[in-house]
């Protein structure tokens, strides 16, 4: 079974600074997808960024980018120019490439953004 590990329960970053959230996963599959979801206090799950395993290029969405290291099974999220609105729980998630696949979530990292 696939597992997703987020080793940082809490992180803090100053506004305008950069922070990196860690995520590692374990799988024997070659076809899969990786995601980062954001859950603010409203508890809505918001897709931040996704990465297809077959793509070598790291995904980027505005201030959010990932460092995808397939051999190391690492998928970290970098948030640049942090804003107060970035404060939230961040969940890393894995999904197999098979048709009936489901998301496997990590335990989450709570990000605080300070002035």
- Residue 14 phi, psi dihedral angles, 5° rounding: -85, 150
**Cβ closer to other proteins: 38 or 86?**
38
Give Cβ neighbours of residue 26 (< 8 Å, ≥ 6 apart). 2, 3, 5, 73
Cα separation, 32 vs 94, in Å, equals 7
Q: Does 35 help bind other proteins (rule: CB under 8 A)?
A: yes
Shortest Cβ 26–other proteins spacing (Å): 16
Residues 47-66 that bind other proteins (CB under 8 A): 47, 50
Cα separation, 15 vs 101, in Å, equals 37
Q: Does 44 help bind other proteins (rule: CB under 8 A)?
A: yes
Among 68, 75, 91, 94, binds other proteins (CB under 8 A): 91
Question: Which residues of the shown chain bind other proteins in the complex (CB under 8 A)?
Answer: 33, 35, 37, 42-47, 50, 91, 95, 97-103, 105-108
């Amino acid at each position: 079974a696939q597992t997703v590990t987020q080793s940082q329960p809490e992180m803090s970053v100053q506004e305008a600074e950069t922070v990196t959230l860690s995520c590692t996963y374990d799988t024997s599959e070659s076809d899969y997808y990786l995601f980062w979801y954001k859950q603010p206090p409203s508890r809505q799950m918001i897709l931040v960024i996704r990465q297809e395993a077959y793509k070598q290029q790291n995904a980027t969405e505005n201030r959010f980018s990932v460092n995808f290291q397939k051999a190391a099974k690492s998928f970290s999220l970098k948030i640049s120019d942090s804003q107060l609105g970035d404060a939230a729980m961040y969940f890393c998630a894995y999904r197999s490439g098979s048709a009936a696949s489901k998301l496997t979530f990590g335990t989450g990292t709570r990000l605080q953004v300070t002035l």
